Amino acid sequence: MADDVVVITGASSGIGAALAEQLAASGASVVLAARRAEALQAVAARCGANAAVVTADVTRRGDMDRVVEAALARFGHVDVWVNNAGRGITRQPTELTDADIDEMMLVNVKSVLYATQAVLPHFKSRGRGHIVNVSSVLGRRPWARFRSAYSGAKHFLNAYTAMLREELSETDPGIQVSLVSPGVVATEFGVNSVHGGPDSRELPGAQTAAEVAEVIAGVIRTRAADVYTRPESRQAVLDYLAELAQNPG
């Protein structure tokens, strides 16, 4: 991983910033993409000389094309692309509006589509590459009712990730597509959710951004296909699915 070039979206804070710092410390070159230029520069300063900053909005297809261009201009190639940017929502299912659903799909799903389609031609030309999509345990089990639209978007992302992996395994087997599913993480995710919400940093049992970043770094090293950031999350999802199978009604 020391010679890898890794693009990280949502890199201005939280998981993305922690991942950038860990990868840079391991010798990787990192391309940091997010909307907040000043915050990106601060992360880049902590990462050192092999960090590039691209101010970009993941919800704009053209911005994702521009991130690829900037990465290639600076480093000549890209090895890994981490789709980390995302946003939550706090609203009961019966209260959801068209705008709520559109925002969840745009930030959590279409952003991944835009980024994937931007970088895939480069990966295909090299015959290798790695896309890492950061999802959520809520993409496996709808635990939090007030996050229903977010949960639905992450379910969509999970399906897209699995089917993209299947497609590329046939056409471009050197390109891997991985999914990482954290639970609650102690970041600004909660307070930055649409309509606000509980502060994730104050919720019991929240993982640190550094802990989640360490798992993602491991996925980059091993190219594992589907990973939970905590083993107990995987078991909880298996228990939920088993319960559904036993009680289909």
H/E run at residue 81: strand 80-83
The pair phi, psi for residue 176, each rounded to 5°, is: -105, 150
Instruction: Write the CA distances from 5 to 37, 153, 171, 215, 240, integer angstroms.
Output: 20, 28, 23, 18, 38
Quick check: 182 and 196 in contact, CB under 8 A? no
CB 153 within 8 A of CB 100: no
Rounded CA-CA distance 228/208 in Å is: 14
Residue 4 one-letter amino acid: D
d(CA 81, CA 99): 29
CA-CA distance, 121 to 105, in Å (whole number)? 24
Q: What DSSP character marks residue 108?
A: I
Bridge partner list, 129: 175
The answer for residues whose C-beta is within 8 angstroms of residue 44's C-beta and 6 or more apart is: 20, 32, 51, 52, 53
Catalytic site residues?
Answer: 150
Enumerate the β-bridge partners of residue 5.
29
